[in-house]
Amino acid sequence: MHFCPTGWGGMGDSHRHRQPNVRGEGHDHLAQILDWSVVCIRNRRLLSCITSSGVLAKRPPDSITRTVSRGEGWNMANEDHVKRAGYAIGVWNRWRDENPDVSPDLSGADLSAGLYRKGKLFSANLKGTDFRRSNMREADLHESNLAQADLSKTDLRGANFAKTVLTGAELIKANLIGANFVEADLSGVDLEKAQVDRADLTSAKLEGAKLHQTNLGTAIGLTQSQVDAASGDSTTKLPAGLKRPAGWPKEEPIAKKDD
């Protein structure tokens, strides 16, 4: 018996995950069957299957898949929401419009290399979500929880992060030109080599934010108290009128090898 329905966008039988031969009686038998139940998550070209325990049952090679991480300390993302995140962004946005009371839970999901331009991702649980190398230009992420999320090398030009929680998130080499961080919590965020030209940091929390090799020269709303709370060095460029804190190291750190 096939777990996933037909219509896999060209994938043959060899790609379908088959139910194992489960032997047993009563409750144990049912429990094993339920453990192998799957959710089919549609990508733009392929379909991936995830077992109910969160383990990837079949990962098509060289494809972008929508998987759910079950690492220590994380809750399982809502499987229906993850499935919807695999549809075209217009379909997702329409679903958000039709369901204004739903707060999406994509926590811990792998949404890397996705197309979420102008996506309505506001008021969502995106804790620990992997958005690396995605196109999220002008995405609306206000009042979402992006704590410990990975947004490295992601296009976030013009994105709205107003009142968003980004504590411990990775924004290494992210394109944040013109992004709105008004009243966002950027405590402990890693902004190394990120492009933050004309980004609005008014009233944003920057305690422990890593600003190594970050050019903040044209950032909007940045104050001396915000800079004093952050972690930078001689490679950090500040707007005119702001001073490099005495506690920042004067020597450049050892450059990291690019991946």
Q: Could you tell me the pLDDT band of residue 76, with boundaries at 50, 70 and 90?
A: confident
The pLDDT of residue 51 is 34
Helix (H) or strand (E) holding 56: strand 56-58
For the record, the structure tokens of 177 come out as 């030109």
b/e map 172-198, b = 16+ CB within 10 Å: bbbbbbbbbbbbbbbbbbbbbbbbbbe
Of 115, 33, 17, nearest to 66 (Cα)? 115
How much of the chain exceeds pLDDT 90, in percent? Answer: 67
pLDDT over threshold 50, residue 79: yes
**Mean pLDDT of all residues belonging to the chain:** 79
CA trace torsion 16, 19, 20, 22 (10° rounding): 180
Q: What is the DSSP letter of 38?
A: E
35-72 confidence digits (pLDDT tens)? 333 333 333 333 333 333 333 333 333 333 344 443 44
Domains of the chain: 100-254 (2.160.20.80)
* 232-251 pLDDT per residue, tens: 999 999 999 999 999 999 86
